[in-house]
Structure 1
């Protein structure tokens, strides 16, 4: 059985007439889907890569807005740390 490069790993190819071969293809697709869903580090890495690409694209289009966003995030983190330290020392 040759694999179609355009078909996702989680899809069952059409046109399988042999019931045993079809069951194997369905099992293979189901296991691939479970692996895709349960591989959290891989999903986090993909999401991080997308976020970094989006941030770079935003920074190229709007450098002033990106600088303001970074400064705002730094102020928010600083305020949160200051608030936590203040709560802890009381």
Structure 2
């Protein structure tokens, strides 16, 4: 599967960069084409298989969203913190009580 040429431009004439996982069009040499496809496949495997990096990016997005929510609605954020703390405390209490019996 190939994507557009990395030197291609959008409708306004600005250059469009391809992601690392895309194979550029216009490669006529079969060896270069195979190399480009292998490079794109390895990049796609790295992007999909690098769980620590994906978890870190997801947690950073969550932190940004939580801070934005707290900035917009400080009372709601405080209520959410209290609710999460009560839920975690209740869960720990249930687990400890079940383990002690």
TM-score (norm 2): 0.81
Q: CA deviation at 1:14?
A: 1.3
> Is 2:83 aligned against 1:72?
yes
Q: CA RMSD in A?
A: 1.5
How many residues are paired up?
Answer: 88
CA–CA separation in structure 2 for the residues paired with 1:77 and 1:29:
43
Q: RCO greater where, 1 or 2, for CA within 8 Å and sep 6 or more?
A: 1
2:26 to 15, 32, 49: 15
Give the match for residue 26 of structure 1.
37
1:44 to 40, 55, 65: 55
Please give the per-residue CA displacement for 1:12-34, whole angstroms capped at 9, x wherever unaligned: 01111111111110010001101
3-state secondary structure, aligned to 1:12: coil
Q: Which runs of 5+ in 1 are unaligned?
A: none
Q: Which runs of 5+ in 2 are unaligned?
A: 1-5, 8-15
Q: Between Structure 1 and Structure 2, which shows a larger proportion of helix residues?
A: 1
CA–CA separation in structure 2 for the residues paired with 1:13 and 1:83:
56
CA–CA separation in structure 1 for the residues paired with 2:25 and 2:75:
52
TM-score (norm 1): 0.91
Q: CA deviation at 1:84?
A: 1.0
